[in-house]
Amino acid sequence: MLIWLLLVPVLAAVLMPVAEGWRRDGSRWLSLVALGLQALLLLPLGSDGGTWWLESRTDWLPLLGIGWHLGLDGLSYLLLWLTVALGIVSVLISWREIRQRVAFFHCNLLLSVAGIVGVFLALDLFLFFVFWELMLIPMVLLIAIWGHDNRHYAATKFFIFTQASSLLMLIAILGLAFAHRAQTGVISFDRDDLLQLQLSPVLAHWLMLGFFVAFAVKLPMVPLHTWLPDAHTEAPTAGSVMLAAILLKTGAYGLLRFSLPLFPEASAAFAPVAMTLGVLGILYGAKLAFAQHDMKRLVAYTSVSHMGFVLLGIYALNGMALQGAVMQMLAHGFSTAALFIVVGMLYERWHTRDLRQLGGLWTRLPRLSGFTMLFALASLGLPGLANFVAEFLILAGAFQRTWPLTAVAALGLVGAALYSLLLVQRSLWGAAKPAAGAPDCSRREWLVLGALALALVWFGLHPQPVLELVREPLLRVLDAPLAHSGVELSSSWLSLRGRGL
């Protein structure tokens, strides 16, 4: 069952040239069919009360303790849906934008989806690493081949950043495996085995940092974020959507699935630093977004700001904040993807993303402008839209840990108002600058934007299904330290407070 979730996109990717030869737009339709099949596979799944809804374990390289161990719980289920939904959106918005090497484009897109699905399912650390790398390569190609003017620079930068950081993770993974051999005599990369390890605090600290850096680069966390604006800006729209909506989430997912459960004490001790960096990201990203003239770059920096909230929420280490962080992953996935799509549509019409050349779009394209307004409002955290629930829960959770830091983080709400409304004012309002005659939303564009808008409103007013879905997995993340080390989380927090946080 789980294997099919992986195989469907891979098979479709392999069949891409055939489909392209079969008929015009064949590869696009094949991609839709593949992603639709994945959705069908996901549809009937549900919890049976255990830890994993589905789990499959097969030996792969038994000599090295590497197994083909996949597992699905509420958290991965949610993120798989996000992947499939935004994958479909990516195919739809590329319909007109991508004209060259169409089959190869969709091949890369689906391989990247396959890699991401693997990341969300893998429970063997070696396997996880394989998928982690697998999703990266097609993404680099998407940027390097179909991107904008400065695409080679951006693709290289993205590649080096992620590659260098995942090398650290590989070292940490190996360290864990060898630590397991030292303790039990058997080498193992299995998450279940590694959870039982008793690590010395120093070793745990360094291994945790290895994971943390890899995940923080993906998230991205200030100051390791500088690949993101370039990659997002230069990527084709579908690439930006995949990057923003899904790829960034693998970083947060990694923290929740591996970093926190494997190193509970080290993570708790590190939490003040991580939270501070998260708050720094919120404000720094907002400030940079505010200053941009390039609309796409502006949206890219808002990602930095929004993901700062995720980092803050994750390391607040309580249920409310963790639920908020996951909610933010979802909300950011929709709202930022939507804004990237809007920028792509504007670029398609006028071949510019420069806010100084745009303006008065409400006069030219009222429908698209209405959507833009809604997405900008979601981005500024207007109550009633999904981002608000997320940010409020994160702030409420973080507040219980550290009120001064949370108060500073809340200033990010002012920052969000500044950049979002500046975006509205500079692009939608004012005298109409771009030439008249561009068509308003086509039916395909309407469908995509309408669906994203509906999702933002729906989850803004009824976030319960999401919160419900991730409640158990997140509680397990929080329970992990109690379960296998006996150290109470709260006591380590008391000492943190003593240090002024």
Partner 1 sequence: MGAWLAWIPLLPLLSSLTLLLLGRRLDERGAALFGVGSVALAALLSLVAILLFVVSDGTAWGGQALSWFSALGLEVGFSLYFDGLTAVMVGVITGVGLLIHLYSVAYMSGDDGFARFFAYLNLFVAMMLILVLAGDFLLLYLGWEGVGLCSFLLIGFWYRVPENGYAARKAFVVTRVGDVALALGLLILVQQFGTLLIQDSVGQAQLLWADSDWPFWVALLLLGGAVGKSAQLPLQTWLPDAMAGPTPVSALIHAATMVTAGVYLIARTQGIFLLAPDVLQLVQLVGGLTLFLAACSALVQQDLKRILAYSTISQIGYMFFALGAGAFSAAVFHLMTHAFFKALLFLAAGQVILSLHHEQDIRRMGGLLRPMPFSALCFAIGCAALAALPFTSGFYSKDAILLQAYAHGGAGIAWWLALAGAGVTALYSLRLFVRLFLGECHTAPTPDNRWPMRWPLALLCLLALFGALIPQPLSDVFVSVPAGEQHVSWAVHLAVLLMPWLGLALGLWLLLRGEDLRRRFAGGILARVWRTGWGFDALYNALLVQPLSLLARLNRRDLLDLPVGFLAWLSRTCHQGLSRLQNGRLRQYVAGIVWGALLVLAVVL
- Residues near partner 1 (CB under 8 A): 157, 222-223, 225-226, 229, 284, 287-288, 290-292, 318-320, 322-324, 360, 362-363, 366, 370, 377, 382-384, 389, 392-393, 395-397, 399-400, 403, 406-407, 410-411, 413-414, 417-418, 421-422, 425, 428-432, 461-464, 467, 471, 474-475
Residues 6+ apart with CB under 8 A from 24: none
Which CB, 111 or 143, lies closer to partner 1? 143
What are the C-alpha distances in Å from 250 to residues 18, 83, 369?
31, 11, 31
Q: Partners of 67 in the beta sheet?
A: 59
User: Between the CA atoms of 23, 3, 181 and 216, what dihedral angle is there, to the nearest 10 degrees?
Assistant: 60
Q: How far is the CB of 58 from partner 1 (least distance, A)?
A: 35
Q: How far is the CB of 292 from partner 1 (least distance, A)?
A: 7
Which CB, 258 or 388, lies closer to partner 1? 388
Q: How far is the CB of 375 from partner 1 (least distance, A)?
A: 14
Residues 6+ apart with CB under 8 A from 464: none
Residues 6+ apart with CB under 8 A from 409: 278, 279, 282, 283, 308, 309, 312, 395, 398
Q: How far is the CB of 128 from partner 1 (least distance, A)?
A: 27
Q: State the SS3 of 105-174.
A: HHHHHHHHHHHHHHHHHECEHHHHHHHHHHHHHHHHHHHHHHCCCCHHHHHHHHHHHHHHHHHHHHHHHH
Cα 255 → chain centroid: 12
Which CB, 187 or 382, lies closer to partner 1? 382
Q: How far is the CB of 63 from partner 1 (least distance, A)?
A: 38
**Type of residue at 251:** G
Q: How far is the CB of 321 from partner 1 (least distance, A)?
A: 9
Which CB, 82 or 393, lies closer to partner 1? 393
| Range list of β-strands (E), 38-142 | 54-61, 66-72
Which CB, 83 or 318, lies closer to partner 1? 318
Which CB, 226 or 442, lies closer to partner 1? 226
Cis peptide before 9 (omega within 30 of 0): no
Which CB, 122 or 470, lies closer to partner 1? 470
Nearest by Cα to 142 from 220, 218, 241, 217? 241
Q: How far is the CB of 284 from partner 1 (least distance, A)?
A: 8
